[in-house]
Structure 1
Amino acid sequence: MAVSYFIGHGSPILALEQNGYTEDMRKLGESLGKPDGVVVFTAHWTRPGLMLTATDGVQETIHDFGGFPDELFQVQYPAKGSARIAEELRERLTSEGIGAQVTDARGLDHGVWVILRHLFPEADVPVIAVSVDPSLPPQEQYRIGQALSGWTDRNVVIIGSGSTVHNFREMSFGRPDAADPWAKEFDDWLVERMRQGETEALFAYRDSAPHGRRATPDYEHFLPLFIALGAGSGEAELLHQSYQYGSLSHLIIRFG
């Protein structure tokens, strides 16, 4: 059975924090052991078509944010890549009619290393970062995931890294542990639709979900959910749900 994950990567400061969310990521990492590699579709690398990092060397830790403590900019996640796994992944996507290219000129953005720092704190699992293409509708994002469904049998972890509720205009930074009812209502609707396998309703989330448009003004953060959904099989399992600043959602969902 194919297994994949969606992880809401939250604020970069989570790389330094210890809370219920990071603890559940740590537990998930322990349950995964030491896979041959981890593939992360990251909302912080957008471009037309798919691009994969392909190198056997240590990858740069990209601090693609501002306004945070100096301590955060000192964090390094010196994970190596795997040119072999990246090429296998590219071939798999291409064989399913999905264009993909590889590059050795990009490191790991915070959509990748913030979560991996908790999942695999020793940075001892090869990492392949993958860009996302916001020009594609949910159905096509799902198809990208489906192309990898059988491929996950080879002990490579597939993760979609984004956020289901990600609206900066709605965030209340003076309420770091708060959850706005409307944000939770949106996430609860998503989880139930995924548990029921109602993919058509999920594809139409902007109009069919409560607060669908309010929750997802930046589609690039939401779309990794569809990739993870397509890559897994079986029922969706909610592993964690919490919020920061009222409406910044932290979900961990296992598919399969």
Structure 2
Amino acid sequence: MISPIFVGHGSPMMALQDTACTQFLLEYGKKLSPKAIVIFTAHWETEVLTISSTNDAYETIYDFRGFPDELFQLKYPAKGDVALAQSIAERFQVKGIPVQLDSTRGLDHGSWVPLLRMFPTPEVPVIQISVNPYLPPAEQYRIGEALRGLDQEDILIIGSGATVHNLRALNWNATEPDAWAVAFDDWLAANMQAKNLKALFNYAAEAPNSKMAVPRPEHFIPLYIAMGSGDPERQVEIIHRSYEVGSLSYLAVSF
């Protein structure tokens, strides 16, 4: 059994840097032996939930610019699995969640960067799934619920995003995390560990500094999907916490 997780993927530079977060991802990946990986990425937005469906190796997408050339030389040629993609699609359909398959899109950096740090050599199938940031948190959680039980099959579910992701608020001179970002993550951690879904679904009104932390929800909602996919009887664990440039959060959670 492999618990679903949420990870902060932060800057694409984490593919090259040696940081507290990249060290955590490497060591955590060493503990796991998944048969397959299902990853929801903040960098693939669609109105209808879309699942990658191919048996071929994915193209590595460089969906960023202004970074060192070395970053654009990296590749993560993981392969997909059409049969697994179809079985996941059927899980959503049974729950009345509209879904479609995509056979051409590669892995964006919300997927390949954390996967590269966790599993430097791709050895198992990867299924990438899009997000719709306009659905409310309760509906994101329900998307995750449709995948409950995959952990019992040793399929690793990853929500890839960031709890605090406000690029306009980055503090490039910071030597410590910004207090407002820490307060938001403190609130999240406490309510996740207390399993207070009512508060979590209403985070925009109840969490401190929510508008600063989540100016747009595409990076935040993979947290709810990963949370929904976990066993509700299992204890929620904060498995990593660090920050860059003041407020960019690398909070990682196991469900």
Q: TM range, normalised to the smaller chain?
A: over 0.9
Cross-structure match for 2:177: 179
RMSD in angstroms over aligned alpha carbons?
A: 1.2
TM-score (norm: length of structure 1): 0.96
Secondary structure of 1:201's match?
A: helix
Match of 1:193 among 175, 191, 194: 191
Cross-structure match for 1:129: 128
Q: 1-side partners of 2:71 and 2:104: how far apart?
A: 23
Secondary structure of 2:47's match?
A: coil
Q: Percent identity?
A: 48
Structure 1 range deviating more: 96-105 or 63-72: 96-105
Ranges of 4+ aligned residues in structure 1 off by more than 6 Å: none
TM-score (norm: length of structure 2): 0.96
Q: Cα deviations across residues 170-212 of structure 1 (Å, max 9, x unaligned)? A: 102344x531011011001101100000011011111101111
Secondary structure of 1:63's match?
A: coil
Secondary structure of 2:168's match?
A: helix
Cross-structure match for 1:89: 88
Q: 2:2–2:154: 8 Å Cα contact kept in structure 1?
A: no
Shift of 1:236: 1.1
Mark the runs of 5 or more structure 1 residues left unpaired by the alignment: none
Q: 1:194–1:235: 8 Å Cα contact kept in structure 2?
A: no
Secondary structure of 2:164's match?
A: coil
Secondary structure of 1:52's match?
A: strand
Q: 1:2–1:149: 8 Å Cα contact kept in structure 2?
A: no
Secondary structure of 1:227's match?
A: helix
Cross-structure match for 1:239: 239
Within a 5 Å distance, the mapping from 1:53-202 to structure 2 comes to: 53-175=52-174, 178-202=176-200
Match of 1:218 among 193, 199, 216: 216
Shift of 1:118: 1.0
Structure 1 range deviating more: 166-175 or 48-57: 166-175
Structure 1 range deviating more: 21-30 or 137-146: 21-30
Q: 2-side partners of 1:135 and 1:181: how far apart?
A: 28
Shift of 1:151: 3.0
Shift of 1:2: 7.2
Q: 1-side partners of 2:9 and 2:88: how far apart?
A: 23
- Counterpart of 2:129, as a letter, is V
Q: 2-side partners of 1:17 and 1:125: how far apart?
A: 24
Shift of 1:125: 1.8
Q: 2-side partners of 1:184 and 1:66: how far apart?
A: 29
Cross-structure match for 1:227: 225
Secondary structure of 2:252's match?
A: strand
Shift of 1:4: 0.8
